[in-house]
Amino acid sequence: MDILGALQGLPYHSPKTYGSGRWIEDPEHFPRYAEVFAKIAPESMLEIGAFTGYSACTAAIACDTLARIEWIDNESGCRDSNRMVVENLREIDPDILVAYWRTKEEATPTLPVDLIHIDADHSYDAVKRDLEWASQLCPRWIIGHDYELPGGGVKEAVIEFLGREPITYPVTYGLYIIPADWAEGYALFGGEPIDFQEDNECDELS
């Protein structure tokens, strides 16, 4: 599975593709993301922050199970990026179902959703809002990028939201993983299980 080759062949590229961002210079970054997506094997995915679609395309490449990708992006990072995501995904899989919105307020995501990926505003307040909104959709998994980003508010917001450390995975700047079923999460990604009071409000969607 040549993740980097497939991404390099996309019709539209992020402005950071050939820049100084460490996440794009690290040749292991997207292959490791692909490992996470393949282990979770979602049938549906919702992104909060899509940029030009590299993570969505990585998921589409890694997961034969993935039939639908939806996302929310206000295009503040790249003008006309939502159209670019659509075109990039069509290059990977023309049959995949797509939908997008510019804000969470106007979003009507298809439920149930297996996986929510958060990589948008990295400030503490924004990450908390994204996590709270995402959790209301009762996904099987929430994952997010830049857990260890210097100067960001991601780590603080995630720990406060959970009341504990999440599972993490070694992509550039760190990926946090929040499973609905913590036993499954530890089984797939390792870590030290601890006693944790599960929230059963989402059982009806599981």
Domains of the chain, with CATH numbers? 3-15+22-189 (3.40.50.150)
Per-residue confidence at 192, pLDDT binned at 50, 70, 90? Answer: low
Per-residue confidence at 78, pLDDT binned at 50, 70, 90? Answer: confident
Question: Has residue 200 got a pLDDT over 80?
Answer: no
pLDDT: which is higher, 183 or 20: 183
Q: What is this structure's pTM?
A: 0.91
Containing 162, the helix (H) or strand (E) segment is helix 154-162
Whether residue 124 contacts residue 157, with contact meaning beta carbons closer than 8 Å, is answered with: yes
Q: Distances from the Cα of 24 to the Cαs of 13, 17, 54, 56, in angstroms?
A: 11, 6, 10, 15
The DSSP result for 36-61, as a single string, is: HHHHH--SEEEEE--TTSHHHHHHHH
Question: Has residue 203 got a pLDDT over 50?
Answer: no
Phi-psi region of 132 (alpha: psi -120 to 50; beta: other; left: phi over 0): alpha
Average pLDDT, the chain: 89
Give CA–CA dist 32/134, Å, rounded. Answer: 23
| Nearest to 146, CA basis, from 23, 19, 16 | 23
- Answer positive or negative: Cα dihedral of 85, 88, 90, 93: negative
Least confident of 4-18, 25-39, 60-74, 123-137: 4-18
Pairing mode, if any, of strands 141-145 and 175-179?
antiparallel
